[in-house]
Structure formats: structure tokens, C-alpha cells
Structure 1
Amino acid sequence: MEFIEFKKLLFKKAKEAGFKECEIYHTSGESLSITAYAGEIEQYNLNKSFGLSFRGKINNKMGYSYTEILDNETIDMLIKNAKEAASSIENDDIQFIYEGDKKYSEVRTYSEKLENIDTSKLIKLVLDIEKEAKNYSDKVVNIRGCSIGYQTSEYGICNTKGLELNNKTNILTAYVAPVVEDNNEKFDGFGYKIAEDLNDINPKEIAKQGVQKALEKIGSKSIPSGKYKTILFNKAMSSLIGTFSDIFDADRAQKGLSLLKDKEGDFVASEVVTIVDDPLLNDGLGSTPFDDEGVATYKKEIISKGKLVTLLHNLKTANKANLKTTGNGFKSSYSSVVNIAPTNFYIEKGEKTLDELMKEVGEGLMVTNLAGLHSGANSITGDFSLAAKGFYIQDGKKAFPVEQVTVAGNYFELMKSIETVGSDLEFPMSNIGSPSVFIKELSVAGK
């Protein structure tokens, strides 16, 4: 059955079944992943997907259901399951089917240069990346992973209030994870590229990035336990921000699961910190002109010079707080309910380069990698204890690589102790980004 016919019939039958308002969210896509190993193509995966979710209001409750098939039987199933789901809801939260906004911003989420990619070129590129990594240094003994991938998706929302929205995205990524060996010790690195044009994938540059990241770890050692001036490198800070991003979720705050509840207007970070949620960032991995409720998205400051401006809201939480939604109502997949999520979420960059930050530190620690984020961080209390790697800083320069240390602290206190924000803003294969930041003191457990 064609989508337009399916939609008309579904809405018609749903209204006959007692639904006052109805909505369809649909998504389709294609992903190609090619993996190289030992000079050959190890995996070639091509996947196509389609999913559709239906939600409707009946007796002032919102019921959800979903499918991957469009036919007459599916229509009856969707209505039946949504009605049953609505009848099982016990809370009195007000849910909304949105009529739409007058204007939606334009944002670049799709590159026509990635259309009709010749897969033979992708195969050659991934093999070249692996080859370049192996040839970059005689210390390279293995390639832990080498892959190139292309993804494209189209998604849209339509409802009985006349809303009709569609958008499409695509992305090309490539990475290599080389392993080097020195004095019977092995160290790994990672090089990657996110591109909107096939010509932007440079095998030599990706290989160089990955191998150098591995080589610079040679000679790593622990350092004595203590409190250190610390730079959290952009990659490490991005991962920490991502781990604690749900503290800005208004639904969690309203349920008492975030310490930022009722903190709007309070200083929750250093005055040098501004955190932005920008869904209109061209080619951002979280960019979109509308959220999954059909609300027009916009760039906003979440923390402005240390002061909490707003939490992230969807229509339901905004109504509870008597506020306007921030346009952050998103589904984790077509089959899930609407929750809250950030778009392109990052600390606004400062003016100092990484070298200038190291000079400011003088002597201390630079953390480049954090591990154990899911088990070693508590987003409710803010406490964290994480395995870390990086470099010791002496005389304002990298002195030697550091490993086998654990950094511990509290995220809320850490955000208040940021002295300087760097200029090297990065989004490491994620919609969460950060520049490097200088923390005046961090507890380190080492030897």
C-alpha cells in the first residue's frame, strides 16, 4: 500500500475508533558499511530500513504503536495497540499533538555530493586507509579496525491538525584504529573523518592521525596520587558532557532526578562557560529544522556565562512548567515514545589555543581519554571516578604520556572550577562537542 493511501485510511479509521487527534512519524534509510582487514574487504554490509509509528489521543490519554509494514491489517493493529496503550496510562500528564509553527529554519543536513556514491571508490578508500596506516611507521603491528560508512535517512511527521513535515540527512564517515608496539608494549590510536564529499576523505591524513595518536602513548607511565591542575582535552570533555547531558532533561528534573531542578537563573558553572544547544548548525550530527513533535527548532544558550538559562523541554514538560518548549522532543527510534534529547550540544569555544592552555597550566595533567563512563559516573549526584590517559605537562609543554591513573570528582563542582575555555572546539564523531578546558584542580589516583 502506498504511504499516502495508508495515512488517509489510518487517520479515518482511528477517528472512527474514538481517537480525537492522531499523528504519524515515519523514517526510512539506507546504511553501507565496509570494513578492511589485512588488505582485503572483511565485511560489506548494506542495510535498508523503514519504520512508522502512530500515536493518538483518546480519553485525554496518548497511545503509541508502531510497524514496519503498510497494509490494511497493520492499520487495524496500530489502532488496537495504541488504544490499549492509552488505556493503561495511569498518570494525568497532558500530551499534545502539535499543529505546527508558521516558520521553520533552513539547515544543511544533506549533501547532494554524496548521492549515488560509487561503492568501488569506497572500497578503494578503506583499503588505502589501512595500507597508509601500516606503512606510516614500522611500529604498527596491527589494525584494530578500519572502516568506511555511508548513511542516509528521510523522516517526517504528519497529523490530523494539518502538519506535514519532511527532512533528509546523509553522512560519510571513515576511521582507522592502528596498534603500535614498542619494547613489547602495545598502544592504540584512532583517526577519523566525517565528510560531506567523497573528496574530503584523505587516507594519508586519517592514517597519520591514527598512528600518531598511538605513537605518542609510547613510554606511558603513572604519576603519584594527588591534586593536579588539569586540562580536559576536547575529546575527554566532550565525553564527560555527553555522560552528564541528561541533567538538563526537564522531565528528569520534574521527577526529582536532576540537581538542576528549579535552578534556572542560578550560577551552575564558571562564568567562562556557555553551553549551547544548536539544531541549526550546518552539517551537525544533531541538526534538524524540527523536533519529533513537529516543533520548529532554534539555537539557544542553556548555560550563559555560568548561569542556567533553561532546561531542555518537550511539549509535555514545557506545559508543566508553564513555559514554551525548547524544541527538544525527540524519539530514540521510530518505535519509542517522545522523550527529551539535545541536538548539537557543546561548550562555546574560547580564544586560547591548546598550547596557550598548557602554558597557563605550567605543570599539571592533560587528560585526553576517559574510560568507564557508563559505570563510573552518576548523573544524579554528579560524582565520577574514571580511568584516564593523557600527558604530564611541565614548563607549559607535554613532558611524557600518562596512563594507569583514575580521575575523580563531582561534575557540578568541576563545571564551576573551569578557569579557561580553549578555542579547539571538536565534535568527536558525535553531536556532543567541547573545546579543551583548564580545571584549576582535579583529584588523581595513580601510583
Structure 2
Amino acid sequence: KPEPIEYAKKDVTWNMASTEYVKDVLQSLEAKILAYDPRVIQVGYLDYSQGSGSRSIVNSLGMDVQDADEMQYIVASVVVKEEEEVKDASLVEVVYDFEKYDLDSFVSRVCDKALNKLKATPIPSCTCPVIFEKDTMTSLFAAFTGLFNGELMYKGISPLKDKFNEQIFSEQITIIDNPKNTDCLSIANFDDEGCPTSSKTLVDHGKYVMMLHDTRSANRMHTKSTGNGFKSGYASSVSVQPMNCYIVPGNDSFEDLCTKIKDGFVVQNLAGLHAGLDFVSTNFSLQCSGFWVKDGKRDKNVTLVTVANNFLNMMKHVISVGNDLDWSYHQVVSPSIAFEECTISGE
């Protein structure tokens, strides 16, 4: 007999834009981007998408559950040039209501993202405090969410297989997985096996307290599914996957993090993420770019360096967790985090 499902519902009203309105917005957006700075030479592309979908599971055992989602978002890519140097950047933004949306803020963020890449140079190799800005920390964290995968735990692949109820991270780190989190773009009241979803604390102030399961991994480990059996596509098989999984934000602003590290490096872009990390050992060495912080303030743009550390070890040595958690379109997310040290390989 199916378990009863308690339904969570997003308290959001989407104001879906008409075709003509979208056309006007994109034309205005292009004009604003090109007028933002003389170094902006081209709008690489503009895109708007909207859509809705639903899913249901019905069977002869009494299962009859439904979910629905909708969304709209804009994307812009900007190309900038100074002397002979050319850089680009893009930004994706979920928009609930274009009539209330701050288009000028979007323009400044995507343009500044590209402009801040100009005049970047390598720095000498060093070991120093590092801030992973929220987008790069989100990417790194997402690459290691398999640490809490019950199937990998059963197979002995997860580095946390013998560390249940142990202190694995700094006390500042709490990790929650909650498919019903209404702050997120998508919610799921049940997984793709029909099991109810719920909020689960995976790491509680640094202590590893829970893993994620679908029915198969749960049966193998003599427990119950956590409602994390999802498909990556309609025709794919069910596997253990996090949904709306996040590192709980702290109290410090990004500027506060810079002040706390005083002199160090801020990682804003990562490349070669899956080729440059080892999931079993959690070692990583990734090409990156960002900027140097001097006396707590932004100093110079940095590029063509690599950042290296061991993820499990790094997460034990946290200076501070930022307050800038931003779900946007993500299902795994982290705020910016300042760490005691990483190895930077440059000149």
C-alpha cells in the first residue's frame, strides 16, 4: 500500500510574458548592454524560454500522485574588448514577473562579469586563503554530492563509507536535501518511484548523519527510501540523486569574507571540473580564474592558474560561510565559502 504523501505547494504566481512583450524586453536588453560600457562590443546571444510540465504515477496498487512545474528565464551573453584582449560572459536568470523585474541590474551583472575578466594575469604559485564564490562553490559541491549516495555507499565507493556519525566537516557546515523546498525553482512531493519526499539533514554542523536512498539502495542497506529515486530522463533508469540539496548559508556577506581572508584568492570560474577531480580520494586540481584580495579589498584580476586541495580536508578548515545562497535554476547549491588555504599554481 502506498504511503500517504503530504503535498507542498509553491506560493508563487508566474506572470508569463506574451510574445510581443518578450520581443520588446529583449530589444531593450540588447540596447542597454551595448550602451553599458564602450568596451562592450557585442551581444553574443539573447534567449528567453518559458515552459510548464507535469508528472504523475498511477498503478493498480492504489498509487495516484501528480506534480506540476512551470518556469520562465532569460539568458544573455556579452563580448567585451580592451586593446587586443577579448573576453565574454553569460548570465541566466529566472524571472517570475517581467513587469517587476530589474532589467538594469541584470545588465550590470552580466556586463561586469565579462569586464572583470579583462587585464587578468597569472600570479606566482603560493598557498593562501581562498574564497570559492557561490557559483564555483556550487559547481564543486555538486561534483561531490555522491559522497551521500546510498548506492555508492553500499558498493564501498563513497569516501564516507566508514564515517557515519563522525565529524567530517567544519562545525560551520550543515547540508540539507529537501525536494519540497519551496524556495527552489522545482519541487517534488514524490520521487520517480512514488516514494514521499521530505527534508533531510545530511551533515549537521559538520557531523555526517544521513545518506540518500532510492528503494534499491535502501533495501540493500536494510532501511527505507529517503525519496531520492529520480530519473535523469524519461527513458533512463531510477538512481539515487539529490534534489534541492544545499549548504546552509551563514551570516557573512561576500565583502565580509574578503575582509576575513585579508590577503588571498577568490575563485570565480572553474574549468575541467570532471577531469580534474578524483571522487574516491576527493583530491582536485582545476584551472581557474578570479581575483586577488589585498587587505580585504579586490586588487587585481587573475587568470591561467590552478587551484588544488582535498575536498574533505578543505571542508574541515572553513573560515566562514557566506549568506549569498542563490537557488536560481539549480537543484544543488552552495553560498560562497572562505577556506583557510588552497594551493594556487601560477607563474
Letter in 2 for 1:211: C
Letter in 1 for 2:9: V
Identity in percent: 30
- Alignment partner, residue 74 of structure 2: 174
**1:200-246 Cα deviation digits (max 9, x unpaired):** 44432222110011122222111110101111111110010111122
SS in 2 for 1:224: coil
Is residue 100 from structure 1 mapped to residue 2 from structure 2 by the alignment?
A: yes
- Alignment partner, residue 87 of structure 2: 187
Moved more, 203-212 or 265-274: 203-212
Letter in 1 for 2:282: G
SS in 2 for 1:229: strand
SS in 1 for 2:15: helix
Q: Distance in 2 between matches of 1:428 and 1:390?
A: 22
Q: Is the 8 A contact 1:365 1:391 kept in 2?
A: yes
SS in 2 for 1:127: helix
**1:370-406 Cα deviation digits (max 9, x unpaired):** 1111211222221211111111001111111111110
User: How far is the alpha carbon of 1:253 from its aligned partner?
Assistant: 1.6
User: How far is the alpha carbon of 1:191 from its aligned partner?
Assistant: 3.1
- Alignment partner, residue 28 of structure 2: 128
- Alignment partner, residue 182 of structure 2: 282
Letter in 1 for 2:212: L
1:341 to 241, 263, 272: 241
The within-5 A match list for 1:101-120 is: 101-108=3-10, 111-114=13-16, 117-120=17-20
Structure 2: runs of 5 or more not aligned: none
**1:256-299 Cα deviation digits (max 9, x unpaired):** 22111132201111111001112122151342111111111111
User: How far is the alpha carbon of 1:112 from its aligned partner?
Assistant: 4.9
Letter in 2 for 1:171: M
Q: Is the 8 A contact 2:325 2:336 kept in 1?
A: yes
Is residue 302 from structure 1 mapped to residue 170 from structure 2 by the alignment?
A: no
Letter in 1 for 2:318: I
Q: Is the 8 A contact 2:185 2:328 kept in 1?
A: no
User: How far is the alpha carbon of 1:165 from its aligned partner?
Assistant: 0.6
Q: Is the 8 A contact 1:130 1:207 kept in 2?
A: no
Structure 1 or 2, whichever has the larger Rg, is 1
1:414 to 297, 309, 314: 314
Moved more, 184-193 or 165-174: 184-193
SS in 1 for 2:315: helix
Q: Distance in 1 between matches of 2:98 and 2:178?
A: 26
Q: Is the 8 A contact 1:389 1:404 kept in 2?
A: yes
Structure 1: runs of 5 or more not aligned: 1-98
Q: Is the 8 A contact 1:386 1:406 kept in 2?
A: yes
Q: Distance in 1 between matches of 2:21 and 2:2?
A: 42
Q: Distance in 2 between matches of 1:285 and 1:198?
A: 16
User: How far is the alpha carbon of 1:192 from its aligned partner?
Assistant: 3.1
Q: Distance in 2 between matches of 1:440 and 1:112?
A: 42
Q: Distance in 1 between matches of 2:101 and 2:44?
A: 20
Letter in 1 for 2:72: L
The within-5 A match list for 1:185-224 is: 185-224=85-124
**1:49-75 Cα deviation digits (max 9, x unpaired):** xxxxxxxxxxxxxxxxxxxxxxxxxxx
**1:81-107 Cα deviation digits (max 9, x unpaired):** xxxxxxxxxxxxxxxxxx422232313
Moved more, 334-343 or 424-433: 424-433
Letter in 2 for 1:160: S
**1:298-331 Cα deviation digits (max 9, x unpaired):** 1111111111111111112112222222110101
1:228 to 109, 128, 151: 128
User: How far is the alpha carbon of 1:357 from its aligned partner?
Assistant: 1.0
Q: Distance in 1 between matches of 2:319 and 2:14?
A: 42
- Alignment partner, residue 429 of structure 1: 329
Q: Is the 8 A contact 1:192 1:206 kept in 2?
A: no
Normalising by structure 1, we get a TM-score of 0.75
User: How far is the alpha carbon of 1:109 from its aligned partner?
Assistant: 8.1
Q: Distance in 2 between matches of 1:201 and 1:417?
A: 39
Moved more, 270-279 or 408-417: 408-417
User: How far is the alpha carbon of 1:128 from its aligned partner?
Assistant: 2.1
Higher relative contact order (CA 8 A, sep 6+): 2
Q: Distance in 1 between matches of 2:3 and 2:30?
A: 48
Letter in 2 for 1:346: Y
Between the two proteins, the alignment pairs up a number of residues equal to: 347
Is residue 245 from structure 1 mapped to residue 145 from structure 2 by the alignment?
A: yes
Q: Distance in 2 between matches of 1:239 and 1:274?
A: 17
- Alignment partner, residue 164 of structure 1: 64
Letter in 1 for 2:330: S
**1:114-144 Cα deviation digits (max 9, x unpaired):** 3xx4222222222322221111111111222
Q: Distance in 2 between matches of 1:125 and 1:262?
A: 54
Q: Distance in 1 between matches of 2:334 and 2:139?
A: 9
Q: Is the 8 A contact 2:253 2:323 kept in 1?
A: yes
Q: Is the 8 A contact 1:110 1:169 kept in 2?
A: no
Q: Distance in 1 between matches of 2:276 and 2:255?
A: 30
CA spacing shift, 1:108–1:205, aligned 2, 3 Å: same
User: How far is the alpha carbon of 1:428 from its aligned partner?
Assistant: 5.1
Normalising by structure 2, we get a TM-score of 0.95
Moved more, 374-383 or 234-243: 374-383
- Alignment partner, residue 168 of structure 2: 268
Q: Distance in 1 between matches of 2:255 and 2:229?
A: 39
Q: Distance in 2 between matches of 1:138 and 1:172?
A: 31
